[in-house]
Amino acid sequence: MKKLTFLPVIAIIAIATLVFPACSKKASSNPTPVGTTLYDSLGGTTLVADPTHPGAMIEKGRLGIRNVIDSTIFVIAADSRINGHFTVLLSEVTKGDLSGFTDLSENLTTFVAGATGAKNFIYIGLSMHDAHDPAVNNRMNGKATSADFDAFVSDLATGAGKNKLPTNLLTSVAKIVESLRSQVVQM
């Protein structure tokens, strides 16, 4: 897999952050000590060896988030309450060397990293409202229910537990996720 490089596309990202409501804005409005973001608490920008890509480095914060996301994805894939919304996980190699699993892992990791205050990763996908509005996003096969959202949060908590995420950090992440309920659940 190619290592993501953001500098060459800084102009596009700048445009995207101006157009889209930045998820990182929500994260920066949370009451955290000056200079310390939730991303910092999750590992921050310290570079460590990427265990899945020998020779590559990854920010410790992103690695921690990716581990939780990957565990959560497994839980979701085996959860009949909501796995119908995530069948893309089972798609084979579609572009480059990314499968549905890898693509979803990368995108969710970037989304959560941005939402927790990461400076080097900015989510440039659809806003959470548009992404879950079938009128805007034709991949959304119907509006998400509160039960769907509850199942997602439950699976996220299970994924975080598998990675022994400290309770205080899980609570902070859960607050960010819960703040998205009104955007995701549109019924």
Partner 1 sequence: MVALLVVVLAVHIWWVYHPRVSPYTKVMARIDISQPISQSDVTKISTWLYHQKGVDHVLVNPDSRIAVFTFFPAQASGNDIVNRFKAELPYPAQRFMPSQNQLASSCPVAGSSFYYKVYKFIDNIL
Task: Determine the size of the site formed for partner 1 (CB under 8 A).
Answer: 58
Quickly tell me which residue has 């034709």 as its tokens: 138
* DSSP state at residue 103: H
Instruction: Rule CB under 8 A: choose which of 28, 32, 48, 74 binds partner 1.
Output: 74
Please state, in angstroms and rounded to a whole number, the distance separating the CA atoms of residues 98 and 56.
17
Among the residue ranges 30-38, 41-49, 86-94, 167-175, the one whose residues contact partner 1 (CB under 8 A) = 86-94
Cβ atoms of residues 37 and 116 within 8 Å: yes
The CB-side HSE value for 115 (13 A sphere, CA atoms) comes to 20
Among the residue ranges 21-29, 34-42, 70-78, 173-181, the one whose residues contact partner 1 (CB under 8 A) = 70-78
Instruction: Rule CB under 8 A: choose which of 47, 57, 93, 147 binds partner 1.
Output: 93
Q: Per rule CB under 8 A, is residue 31 in the interface with partner 1?
A: no
Q: 187 to each of 105, 110, 148, 182, how far by Cα in Å?
A: 27, 27, 11, 10
Q: Per rule CB under 8 A, is residue 181 in the interface with partner 1?
A: no
Maximum pairwise Cα distance, the chain:
46
Give residues in contact with partner 1 (CB under 8 A): 1-2, 4-5, 8-9, 12-13, 15-16, 19-20, 52-53, 70, 73-75, 77-80, 83-104, 107-108, 110-111, 123-126, 131, 137-141
